[in-house]
Amino acid sequence: MTEPRSDALAFFGATGDLAYKKIFPALHAMARRGHLEFPVIGVAKSGWGLEQLRERARDSIQTHGGGVDEKAFAVLLKRLRYVDGDYNDPATYTALRKELGDAAHPAHYLAIPPSLFATVTEGLAKSGCARGARLIVEKPFGRDLPSAQALNRTIHSVFEENDVYRIDHYLGKEPVQNLLLFRFANSFLEPIWNRNYVDSVQITMAEDFGVQGRGRFYEEAGAIRDVVQNHMLQVVGFLAMEPPVTTYHESIRDEQAKVFRALRPLRADDLVRGQFRGYRKEPGVSPTSTVETFAAVRLHIDSWRWEDVPFFIRAGKCLPVTTTEVLVTLKRPPLRKVGDTNYFRFRLSPEVIIAVGSQIKKPGEQWISESTELKVVHNPEGEEMDAYERLLSDAMVGDGMLFAREDAVEAAWSVVQPILGDVTPVLEYEPGTWGPREADRLTEEIGGWHTPQKSGG
Written in H, E and C, the secondary structure of 240-264 is HCCCCCCCCCCHHHHHHHHHHHHEC
Cα–Cα dist 311/360, whole Å: 28
Cα–Cα dist 412/419, whole Å: 12
The pLDDT value recorded for residue 353 is 85
Mutual angle of helices 24-32 and 50-64, in 10-degree steps:
80
Q: Which residues pair with 200 in a beta bridge?
A: 329
The pLDDT value recorded for residue 379 is 62
Q: 296: closest CA among 275, 318, 312?
A: 312
The pLDDT value recorded for residue 2 is 64
Q: Which residue ranges of the chain lie beneath pLDDT 50?
A: none
Residue 327 Cα distances to 220, 311, 371, 430, angstroms? 31, 10, 15, 25
Are residues 8 and 48 in contact, defined by beta-carbon separation less than 8 angstroms?
no
Cα–Cα dist 185/335, whole Å: 31
Residue 122 Cα distances to 140, 161, 263, 289, 371, angstroms? 20, 16, 35, 36, 61
DSSP one-letter code for 374: E
Q: 344: closest CA among 329, 359, 331?
A: 329
- CA dihedral 361→363→367→373, nearest 10 degrees, is -20
Whole-prediction pTM value? 0.89
The predicted-structure confidence for 230-256, as pLDDT tens digits, reads as follows 899 999 999 999 998 876 678 888 999
ω before 350 within 30° of 0 (cis)? yes
Cα–Cα dist 135/154, whole Å: 12
Cα–Cα dist 199/329, whole Å: 6
The pLDDT value recorded for residue 330 is 93
Mutual angle of helices 251-262 and 406-416, in 10-degree steps:
20
Residues designated as active site: 231
Are residues 345 and 201 in contact, defined by beta-carbon separation less than 8 angstroms?
no
The pLDDT value recorded for residue 382 is 53
